[in-house]
Amino acid sequence: MMENKQLVGKTSVITGCARGMGKCMLELFAQNGSNVFACVRTQTIEFVNYCKTLEEENGVHILPLFFDMTDREEMKSAVKRIMSEKIPVDILVNNAGITYNSLFQMSTMEKMQEVFDVNFFSPFLFTQYIAKLMLKNKKGSIVNISSSAGIDGNSGRSVYGASKAALICATKAIAAELGDSGIRANAIAPGITKTDMLSSMTEEVIRETIQQTDMKRAGEVSDIAKVALFLASDLSSYITGQVFRVDGGLK
């Protein structure tokens, strides 16, 4: 158990909790006293049991929600389930996403639509729904997981980077529009991080990218989760509309 818990009495909605950064955030938020609506695409008994274990270990309530972010009807049903609990939603972390590496000239319209649907349109729509719940209570923190690729415009990542850049732009606009209602919105831009998404990169590219960081290592998922915790908590109560690079000093 952790001392000085930062999210006691708060309720979070986190997408993409099945693995990687999302799963680490789920665990860290629960350890810090937050109840969590844990959103994943595929229902498994392993994830259900994992959530039960986190509940018991941390004395919080964790409700798994299973839906495809790109299925609008499934998303609506998930939001209705959240509303049915009749408890304030304090935090939203839009973590679910996909990666895609392709040269500009080789990127198809079909793939562009898929990447933008998952990385931008779906979290944008989901945020519209959850923000309505936050507006009722005049408070909330929205944390969007973007990418350093959305800032740097890396070769071979025009589509992926553009989808994450769009998320950054939306984050700043949301912060500007909802700030006077007590709702903050910030983005995290991870660099190279040890997740399943690394499988889309060759070993050579991974080594080269690590060498381009000041710290000469890839990030851990906990490095990202800790910043998400900070932005979700009252420790960052006067921070909004910002983009936090968590990349080890990537050049």
Among all residues, which ones are annotated catalytic?
A: 160
Q: What is the edge-to-edge ordering of all strands in the sheet holding 243-246?
A: 62-66, 35-40, 11-15, 91-94, 140-145, 183-190, 243-246
Which residue blocks in the chain are alpha helix, DSSP H? 20-31, 45-58, 72-84, 109-116, 122-137, 149-152, 158-178, 203-211, 221-232
Q: How far is CA 59 from CA 52, 54, 181, in A?
A: 10, 8, 31
Residue found under tokens 């789920």:
26
Query: Helix (H, G, I), strand (E, B), or coil: what is residue 217?
Result: coil
DSSP letter, residue 122: H
Going 33 to 132 to 98 to 75, the CA torsion angle's sign is: positive
Distance between CA atoms of 183 and 16, rounded to whole angstroms? 22
Alpha-carbon gap, residue 65 to 57, rounded angstroms:
20
